[in-house]
Amino acid sequence: MEFIELRSDTCTLPTKEMRQAMAAAEVGDDVYGEDPTVNALEELSADIMGKEAALFLASGTMANLVAILTHCRRGEEIILEADSHIYYYECGGLSALAGAFPRPLPGKRGFISPEQLQQALRPPDIHFPATTLLCLENTHNRGGGSVLSVEKTEELAAIAHRAGLKVHLDGARIFNAALALDVDVKKLAAPVDSVMFCLSKGLSAPAGSILAGSREFIEEARRQRKLVGGGMRQAGILAAAGLVALNKMRERLHEDHEHAQLLAAALEEGGQFRVEKPETNIINVWLPAGKDLNAFIENCRQKGLLITARGPGSFRLVTNRHIGKGEVKKAVSILYSALNEL
């Protein structure tokens, strides 16, 4: 059976051009800094983000961990939103591996307010951990692909910086955010000290993420990457796909946003699902009360549609480059058919 894949944009397959670039990639030993394709990817990434330097890592989770290891010492406090990917989905690595203490604040669709941040900042006291880092996320995964504006990013970063904190941005889908806001991605990255973005989601590369920041920050991050086992050798084979992703795949993300809008509207029109209006390519959906989520997901799978649970009674749909208008129409039909069989 051929499935319609709406679990995540991480399931995108590399393009033919990516595969050709990978096969032909010029490589060297990246741990020695001698892989020309990795070096080219890092230079391009830094330029796109408006930062001095960048580092290629295996995954977004590793990039976030390396950022925390670079910014924080053990026992220091990190302020982040309670549904953030770093806090919710990264195996507790900020504490287990970085020794950091999380201070989660409940946000609205994934974002805390400037007032919340200001109130969370405590005065120096020997009873408190030192607060040294604010982590933001854009777009916000559990917030349904919600977007943090340039102005809000600037306001939150300014409060953090005045208090002596560094700011890290989990920008796994930052290109989706920039497209939704119709701004240069540099503007979203400018207020923060470090930013991570993924090549393997909507951009369709098979693996890899980028961490960008000051030259001094990236030099230390390179050491921390080695510490967690992230020093790869002939990594140019993967970096070659990343170069294609950055050069060819960013502008097409608007298609995913348009298809998410179509999908959400069609689901809402039926009147049985509660649908959160998507801002980018992620849609949060709730089943009618009393319906079995696991049975519903299995019904969808048997009919050829793959979706994933989000929480009690809710699931998410993520559009990607393999989803067109035909797939949207068929997915809606399957979702209602699966619901009616419960």
Quick one: how far is CA 338 from the chain centroid? 29
The H-or-E segment that residue 83 falls in is none
Q: Residue 214's pLDDT is what?
A: 98
CATH 3.90.1150.10 is right for the domain spanning 252-340? yes
Tens of pLDDT, residue by residue over 219-260, are 999 999 999 999 999 999 999 999 999 999 999 999 999 999
CATH of 12-249, one of 3.40.50.11540, 2.60.120.10, 3.90.550.10, 3.40.640.10: 3.40.640.10
Q: Residue 1's pLDDT is what?
A: 81
Question: Considering Cα of 91, then 315, then 180, then 111, what sign does the dihedral take?
Answer: negative
pTM above 0.85, yes or no: yes
Contact at 8 Å (CB) between 157 and 191?
yes
**Stretch 300-328: mean pLDDT:** 97
* Whole-number Cα distances in Å, 223 to 31, 197, 228, 229: 10, 19, 9, 10
Quick one: how far is CA 257 from the chain centroid? 15
Q: For the chain, give every residue range classified as CATH 3.90.1150.10.
A: 252-340
Q: For the chain, give every residue range classified as CATH 3.40.640.10.
A: 12-249
Contact at 8 Å (CB) between 182 and 188?
no
Tens of pLDDT, residue by residue over 123-166, are 999 999 999 999 999 999 999 999 999 999 999 999 999 999 99
**Stretch 291-297: mean pLDDT:** 97
State percent of the chain over pLDDT 90.
99
Q: Residue 154's pLDDT is what?
A: 98
Give CA–CA dist 45/190, Å, rounded: 14
Tokens of 225: 């990457």
Q: Residue 68's pLDDT is what?
A: 98
HSE (side-chain half, CA atoms, 13 Å) at 333: 9
